[in-house]
Amino acid sequence: MESRITLIPGDGIGPEIVREAVKVLDSVADKYGHKFDYTKILMGGCSIDEYGVPLTDEAVATAKASDAVLLGAVGGNVGNSKWYDVAPNLRPEAGLLKIRKELGLFANLRPAYLYDELKAACPLKEEIIGDGFDMVIMRELTGGLYFGNRYTKEIDGLETAVDTLTYNEEEIRRIAIKGFEIAMKRRKKVTSVDKANVLDSSRLWRKIVHEVAKDYPEVEVSDMLVDNCAMQLVMNPGQFDVILTENMFGDILSDEASMITGSIGMLSSASLNKTKLGLYEPSHGSAPDIAGKNVANPIATILSAAMMLRYSLDLDKEADAIEAAVATVLKEGYRTTDIMSEGCTLVGTDKMGDLIAERV
């Protein structure tokens, strides 16, 4: 099979981790007789440097014309980079928001499970880890605070910043349906996370989620306030199957969930729309503190590439092969710095990519 893949290496560690994911994809192509045609586009700080904007319309057109998009990460050292003090639509992150909106990627799936081999890298106590955990966060991705009106102006003589949080029923309904659909393929349990004790948008969220729930009688649904959820994640992570939540809460909770899998370098993600075209990226950022040092963990990006094969290209057994190769390499004791523990073998970004590619 021949597929067109748009690659967005981005900034910081982005190019290093995408390189490793491509290595693994090439190994899949060799073994299973596929052809992946890659087209690279610029997004983020590198695009600002080249074109003055974080994502050009031509780059969007390239992404739209492909079968899937694989992204590293974008952005600089926030607060202390040449890309910070500029208008909101000219910041590196605006490129990411633009591509999510342009491709209609409203559903962001972030799986967080603990590999047995990484129990030592998990910061939780053994009795809390128990038999481990396996959850997915279904994060709404094209609404809420990220896409509301945003401005800073003088109000009553004071410099005032405004960010608005808006959701309509349709935006909530379509992500809720995605959440219940995935729950049906898993342990049939949805925890809808909101802040309905304060926010109107959360009250609407809760109402619509329960309307949708009526179409999925087999799924056990419950509500949880987001502050409680943050606490429950480290107190009893095994209770979660599908966490269904809005954009900002999903952003924060997924970083928290990533750490209990051992490292943020382990958490993959898929951003999906109503078609087959999806965008796949690690949940972490461009990690400017470790960029260029060959220490970044490429596994989140490699697992995102596996999700790409599964969801956009219908290559299920190839996706399974990548996931199995990751598990094998972890079983063999190879670790990047972020997941290193006693008795294991420390490897760099490139070596980790080589090992996984070899074992596909």
- Point out which span in 19-27, 119-127, 133-141, 284-292 binds ligand NAD (CB under 6 A): 284-292
Residues 355 and 346: their CA atoms lie apart, in Å, by 12
Among 163, 169, 289, 358, which residue interacts with ligand NAD (rule: CB under 6 A)? 289
Instruction: Pick from 47, 297, 304, 312 the residue near ligand NAD by CB under 6 A.
Output: 297
Is 227 annotated in the active site? yes
* Cα distances (angstroms) measured from residue 305 to each of 7, 26, 82, 270, 293: 11, 11, 31, 9, 22
Cα 84 to Cα 79: distance, rounded to the nearest angstrom: 6
195 belongs to the catalytic site? yes
**CA 347 to mean position of chain CA atoms:** 24
Interacting positions 38-77 with ligand IPM (CB under 6 A): 75
* Minimum gap (Å) between residue 137 Cβ and ligand NAD: 14
State which residue, 96 or 257, has the beta carbon closest to ligand IPM: 96
Token pair listed for 130: 């128990």
Q: Given 23, 67, 98, 146, which residue is catalytic?
A: 146
Task: List the single partner that 67 binds among ligand NAD, ligand IPM, Mn ion, none, CB under 5 to 8 Å by kind.
Answer: none
Shortest distance (Å) from residue 96 CB to ligand IPM: 5
Catalytic residue among 37, 57, 200, 227: 227
287 binds, among Mn ion, ligand NAD, ligand IPM, none (CB under 5 to 8 A by kind): ligand NAD
Of residues 211 through 270, those in contact with ligand NAD by CB under 6 A are 264-265
Give the tokens for residue 76.
């600089």
User: Which pair of tokens denotes residue 304?
Assistant: 């995102």
Helix residue ranges, H only, 185-242? 200-213, 226-235
Annotated ligand binding at 59? The verdict is no
Choose the catalytic residue: 23, 98, 178, 195.
Answer: 195
> Judged by CB under 6 A, which of 171, 251, 318, 338 binds ligand IPM?
251
- 296 counts as binding ligand NAD under rule CB under 6 A: yes
Which of 26, 255, 350, 354 is labelled catalytic?
255
Residue 186: name the closest of 141, 140, 137, 233 by CA: 137
Residue nearest Mn ion, CB atom distance: 251
Are 195 and 249 spatial neighbours (Cβ–Cβ below 8 Å)? yes
| Rg (alpha carbons) of the chain, rounded to whole number | 20
Nearest distance from residue 150's CB to ligand IPM, in Å?
13
- Of 63, 96, 137, 219, the residue at the interface with ligand NAD (CB under 6 A) is 96
Q: Token pair for residue 349?
A: 């970004």
List the x/- string, 314-343, binding to ligand NAD by CB under 6 A: ------------------------x-----
Q: Which residue has the tokens 């909770």?
A: 253
Question: CB atoms < 10 A from the CB of 172, how many?
Answer: 24
C-beta neighbour count of 52 within 10 angstroms: 9
Contacts of 10 (CB under 8 A, 6+ apart): 18, 43, 44, 45, 46, 71, 72, 73, 74, 75, 286
Q: Which of 27, 191, 283, 301 binds ligand IPM (CB under 6 A)?
A: 283
Non-local CB neighbours of 237 within 8 Å, separated by 6+ positions: 124, 128, 129, 133, 135, 257, 260
Cα 344 to its chain centre, rounded Å, is: 27
- In whole angstroms, what is the distance from residue 334 CA to residue 346 CA? 6
Using CB distances below 5 to 8 A depending on partner kind, what does residue 264 bind out of ligand NAD, Mn ion, ligand IPM, none?
A: ligand NAD
139 binds ligand NAD (CB under 6 A): no
Q: Which residues are catalytic?
A: 146, 195, 227, 251, 255
Q: Residues in the site for ligand IPM, rule: CB under 6 A?
A: 75, 93, 96, 251, 283, 285
Q: Residues in the site for ligand NAD, rule: CB under 6 A?
A: 73-76, 78, 93, 96, 264-265, 281, 284-290, 296-297, 300, 338
